[in-house]
Amino acid sequence: MVGDLAQSEPAGPEPLPPVLSPRSKGTGPRPSLGAIVRRAVPFVPAFVPLAIVVAIIVTLIIETGLTHLPGLLGSNFNPTPSTGAPSWGIMVFVVGSFLTAVPALLLSMVVGLGIAIASVTYLPRFVSRILDPFVDLLAGIPSVVYGIWGYLFVSTYFGNTLNPFLYDKLSWIPGFGGQTPPGSGLGIPISVFILTLMALPITTLLIRDALRTVPRDLWESGLALGATRWEVLRRVSIPYGRAGILSAAFLGFGRAFGETVAVAMVINIEPVYPHNVFQGTGTIASLMFALLDSAYGNYQFLAALCYMALALLAITLVVNVVGRWSISRLSATEIAGL
Amino acid sequence: MNASATTMSDGPVLSIEGLTVRAKDRLLLDGISLDFPPHSLTAVVGPSGCGKTTFVRALNRMVELTPGLRVEGQVHYLGQNIYDPSVNPVLVRRRIGMVFQRPTVFPTSIFENAAFGLRIVHAEDEEVDRAVTEALQQAGLWDEVKDDLDRPALALSGGQQQRLCIARALAVRPRVILLDEPTSALDPAATQRVEATMLGLKERYVLILVTHNVGQAARVSDRIAVLQTGKLIEVGPTEDVLERPREKFTEQFITGRFE
């Protein structure tokens, strides 16, 4: 054995491998299939996300069967009418999704900015070290927990106190007057509240990171000019971290826009435009979730759900692309000054 | 005869008495006393870690931003102790400006960088225009940027950025400018421009320049203060200190046996 080993030892230095890679034409034998596969393996993971997106889109399109659904882009969603043909309008839910996600995003940006500013700028280091992890903890709470908490507990407060109060004070604003808020407390306001909580960890974490990237000497330069911490924050840190703050907004929106279970539990689903902001309506995601059962066995109904899924995907994708584009523009402007 | 006016113009602008800065377990500055007369450029030199930066940061209360440091002693600015409990550090920093090691321009236009300190006191637009122009001229940057004031400051070269930082400090019309190794991140040509700017400024301001570069101190300063492990061991006119150092340590430092 030992002898064998000794024999296989090369006698002198091995010749250097050819400089040109085996792929180059005209040098050496063609690489084997195995070699090609081995060479390709490291690249494969990079294509996984693309493959997933394509797979989802393609299967959804196939599942719609490209069925013609009358009135798909309309506002009347009535798949099982007592008389006449069903109609499949999904616009109510598109509107409902924006109606809940946009206010939730704005609120979570404001609150997230407040938390991030306090943590990065004002709190003593040891206090923020204790408080910061709770933001991560918030991110880890499953959405169904937010949903059940909202449905069983928070809704009472909205029904008894907050909604009547808002109705009383704001009914002069269009959209706030009219029908009295339902006593259950379910509807748009509590959905916005729950979505705000769910978007909050994302917005807070990203804004906090953005503010943390401000170099210490830049921060001190502001103070050295006689600015207060608030002024440096407003005039230096926030402009400096604006790309990160913007990405917080887009990711927070994605979270709020696509949330399903929690919204389905508290929005008081109705496939109609709400009479005022206190009523129930539907969001794309929550409605799909709620209707899955009734759609079973009805191919048109299932096709409608697939169209909704595609709509949700398309809107999210557009928001993502716009987000990436504007963030990259911001960063480029900052550096090159275009 | 107006005695007080005479005192104001001739007396020291900054007067330091027994300035001591302590960290938890050690002394960063040890009982430094020194006066800074008007229209002077004092170079503070010494090896790394001798407390130069702590020293200038103690002169505009920036040192208080570092948790765990305690300051003792007094720093009188025109007769008033800036460490008096009644004094607002924000107002101190409007009188005693500072330029950092690295150019620290803000992510905004050249004009708004120079105007920063004026915006926070809500100066009138006309006043801002005038002060910014004047500051950029004094900093020796005006001719290079006068047509591009709206361009982002980050598009400037490193040396231009540092002169913009000087202009930014000048625009609020301080009496004292602290320069903490302002050329340490610059190439020789840019360093030369910044040094020329400093020479021009000493006619009007009290400049306190921290540098580890003895050559730079020789080129621009009137006076050299030598620090060794937090103690002021020698101070005197630049020529005297460089040619006839009293202390052995000073001699070793200026001949390059310490860095």
User: Mean per-residue pLDDT for B59-73?
Assistant: 91
Query: With 50 as the cut, is the pLDDT of residue B253 above it?
Result: yes
Query: With 60 as the cut, is the pLDDT of residue B214 above it?
Result: yes
3-state secondary structure of B19: strand
Put simply, the answer to whether B104 touches A336 (Cβ < 8 Å) is: no
Shortest CA gap A280–chain B (Å): 45
Predicted local distance difference test score (pLDDT) of residue A85: 86
Partner residue facing A217 (CB), from B91, B102, B168: B102
pLDDT band at A19 (very low <50, low <70, confident <90, very high): low
pLDDT in tens, B117-148: 999 998 999 999 999 999 999 999 999 999 99
* A224 interaction partners in chain B (CB closer than 8 Å): 60, 62, 93, 97-98, 100, 169
In a domain, A276, yes or no: yes
Distance CA A31, CA B34 (A): 78
Partner residue facing B104 (CB), from A221, A239, A335: A221
Beta-carbon contacts of B103 under 8 Å, excluding residues fewer than 6 positions away, are: B158, B161, B162, B164, B165, B185
User: Mean per-residue pLDDT for B13-25?
Assistant: 93
Task: Look up residue A41 and give its DSSP letter.
Answer: G
Task: Look up residue A233 and give its DSSP letter.
Answer: I
Q: Is A240 on the interface with B (CB under 8 A)?
A: yes
Name the nearest CA neighbour of B103 among B11, B167, B54, B51: B167
In which domain, by residue range, is A132 found? Answer: 94-298
* B91 interaction partners in chain A (CB closer than 8 Å): 226
pLDDT in tens, A198-251: 999 999 999 999 999 999 999 999 999 999 999 999 999 999 999 999 999 999
Query: What average pLDDT is seen over chain A?
Result: 88
* B120 interaction partners in chain A (CB closer than 8 Å): 225-228, 231, 235
Shortest CA gap B92–chain A (Å): 7
Task: Look up residue B165 and give its DSSP letter.
Answer: H
pLDDT band at A31 (very low <50, low <70, confident <90, very high): confident
Query: With 90 as the cut, is the pLDDT of residue A56 above it?
Result: yes
User: Mean per-residue pLDDT for A30-35?
Assistant: 85
Name the nearest CA neighbour of A274 among A155, A156, A192: A192
User: Mean per-residue pLDDT for A71-82?
Assistant: 87
Predicted local distance difference test score (pLDDT) of residue A86: 87
Partner residue facing B91 (CB), from A125, A218, A226: A226
In a domain, A270, yes or no: yes
Shortest CA gap A334–chain B (Å): 7
Report all structural domains of chain B as residue ranges with CATH numbers, in order of start. 3-81+88-254 (3.40.50.300)
Element (H, E) at B81: strand B80-81
Beta-carbon contacts of A4 under 8 Å, excluding residues fewer than 6 positions away, are: none
The CA distances from residue B23 to A158, A250, B64, in Å, are 53, 44, 11
The sign one gets for the Cα dihedral A39, A43, A48, A53 is negative
Shortest CA gap B33–chain A (Å): 23
Put simply, the answer to whether A225 touches B121 (Cβ < 8 Å) is: no
* Bigger pLDDT: A266 vs A11: A266
- The domain that holds A185 is classified in CATH as 1.10.3720.10
User: Mean per-residue pLDDT for A154-160?
Assistant: 93
Sheet holding B176-180, edge to edge: B96-99, B176-180, B206-210, B40-45, B223-228, B231-237
Put simply, the answer to whether B152 touches A334 (Cβ < 8 Å) is: yes
Put simply, the answer to whether A231 touches B106 (Cβ < 8 Å) is: no
Beta-carbon contacts of A302 under 8 Å, excluding residues fewer than 6 positions away, are: A63, A295, A296
Pairing of strands A77-78, B176-180: unpaired
Shortest CA gap B72–chain A (Å): 21
Put simply, the answer to whether B98 touches A221 (Cβ < 8 Å) is: yes
User: Mean per-residue pLDDT for B4-16?
Assistant: 68
Please give the full DSSP string across A150-181, using - where no structure is assigned: IIIIIHHHIIIIIHHHHHHHHTTSTTTSSSPP
pLDDT band at B255 (very low <50, low <70, confident <90, very high): confident
Phi, psi (deg, nearest 5) at residue A222: -65, -45
Instruction: Work out how many CB contacts closer than 8 A connect A with B.
Output: 77
In a domain, A206, yes or no: yes
Look up tokens 């990436």; give the residue. A324
Q: Is A335 on the interface with B (CB under 8 A)?
A: yes
In a domain, A236, yes or no: yes
Phi, psi (deg, nearest 5) at residue B72: -125, 165
Predicted local distance difference test score (pLDDT) of residue B11: 82
pLDDT in tens, A161-191: 999 999 999 988 888 888 888 888 999 999 9
In a domain, A183, yes or no: yes
In a domain, A48, yes or no: no
In a domain, A2, yes or no: no
pLDDT band at A81 (very low <50, low <70, confident <90, very high): confident
pLDDT band at A68 (very low <50, low <70, confident <90, very high): confident
Q: Of the ranges A99-103, A295-299, A328-332, B119-123, which one carries the lowest mean pLDDT score?
A: A328-332
Rounded to 5 degrees, what angle do the CA atoms A237, A108, A312 make?
115
State the total domains in chain A.
1
* Probe site for chain B from A216, A220, A225, A240 (most B CB atoms < 10 A): A225
Element (H, E) at A271: none
Structure tokens at B162: 């540092």
Query: With 80 as the cut, is the pLDDT of residue A124 above it?
Result: yes
Distance CA B253, CA B258 (A): 5
In a domain, A135, yes or no: yes
| Chain B residue at shortest CA distance from A220 | B62
| Chain B residue at shortest CA distance from A218 | B104
* A216 interaction partners in chain B (CB closer than 8 Å): none
pLDDT in tens, B31-59: 999 999 999 999 999 988 899 999 999 99
* A225 interaction partners in chain B (CB closer than 8 Å): 93-94, 97, 116-117, 120, 168-169, 172
Put simply, the answer to whether B165 touches A221 (Cβ < 8 Å) is: yes
pTM value is 0.83
Q: Is A329 on the interface with B (CB under 8 A)?
A: no
Neighbours of A324 (CB within 10 A): 12
